[in-house]
Amino acid sequence: MDSSALALLLARAGVDHLAVFVDHGLLREGERGEVERALRPLGVRLESVDAAGRFLRALRGAEDPEEKRRIIGREFVETFHSVARERGPFRFLAQGTLYPDVIESAGGEGTANIKSHHNVGGLPAELGFELLEPFRTLFKDEVREVARLLGSRMRSGCVTRFPVPAWPCASSEK
C-alpha cells in the first residue's frame, strides 16, 4: 500500500516515472492483478515483473531472518537494475519506506535495530540509484490518508489491507 500510494503521488504530481511492481512469489493470491487494476486506471505507469523464481532461489536455504531481509533487499535492487537496463536509465529509486521501518532498522538517531527492513537495513551499500523516500517520516495511517486523498477511486482494499512483508512496488524516476 505504501509504494502504491507513492506511485500514485508521483503520477498525480506529474513526475515522469515508471512504477515497478516486483512479484517476488510471496504475495497473496491475486494481489498482483489487484494492484494493476487499482493503479493503472488512476494514471500510474506500471510495469509488473515476475521475479518469483529469482527470489525463491536466492532465499533457498536461508534460515536467519536478518539474512533473508538482506537477500530480499538485494534481489529487489537487482530486479530494479534489470528493469533500468531495459527501460532506463533511471537516476532515482523512490520507495514507500515508513517511519516504523526506519525505527526498527536503526535508521535514525535514538533508534535500535529491532529488525532490518528490505527497504532500509536490507539494501546493499552500493545501491546504484539516488534514494527518495518521501514517506520516511510518516506512519501507515498517515500514508493511508494520503492514498485516500489522491485516489478516491482506488479500491479500499488496496488502502486498508494488512501489509505483506517485503511489499514490492517502488518507483523510479528518469
Q: List pLDDT tens digits, range 104-145.
A: 776 556 555 556 555 555 566 677 788 888 998 999 899 989
Region 6-31: mean pLDDT is: 90
> What is the pLDDT, as a whole number, of residue 165?
40
pLDDT above 90 coverage of the chain, percent: 28
Region 20-35: mean pLDDT is: 90
> How far is residue 73's CA from residue 83's CA, in Å, rounded to a whole number?
16
> How far is residue 120's CA from residue 103's CA, in Å, rounded to a whole number?
10
> What is the pLDDT, as a whole number, of residue 164?
43
> How far is residue 170's CA from residue 46's CA, in Å, rounded to a whole number?
10
Q: Name which of 32-46, 86-100, 159-173 the model is least confident about.
A: 159-173
Which of 56-60, 64-68, 70-74, 142-146: highest mean pLDDT?
Answer: 56-60
For residue 57, what are the CA distances in angstroms to 16, 23, 53, 85? 33, 14, 6, 22
Q: How many CB atoms lie within 10 A of CB 144?
A: 17
> How far is residue 49's CA from residue 162's CA, in Å, rounded to a whole number?
22
> What is the pLDDT, as a whole number, of residue 167?
38
Which residues face 169 on adjacent strands? Answer: 21
Q: Is the pLDDT of residue 73 over 60?
A: yes
Each residue's pLDDT tens digit, 152-163: 455 555 554 544
> Comparing 148 with 1, which gets the higher pLDDT?
148
Q: How many CB atoms lie within 10 A of CB 97?
A: 27
Instruction: At 160, list the grid cell.
Output: 486498508
> What is the pLDDT, as a whole number, of residue 58?
95
Where in the chain does DSSP place strands (E)?
A: 17-23, 46-50, 92-94, 130-132, 169-173
> What is the pLDDT, as a whole number, of residue 171?
37
Specify whether the CB–CB gap between 156 and 1 falls below 8 A: no
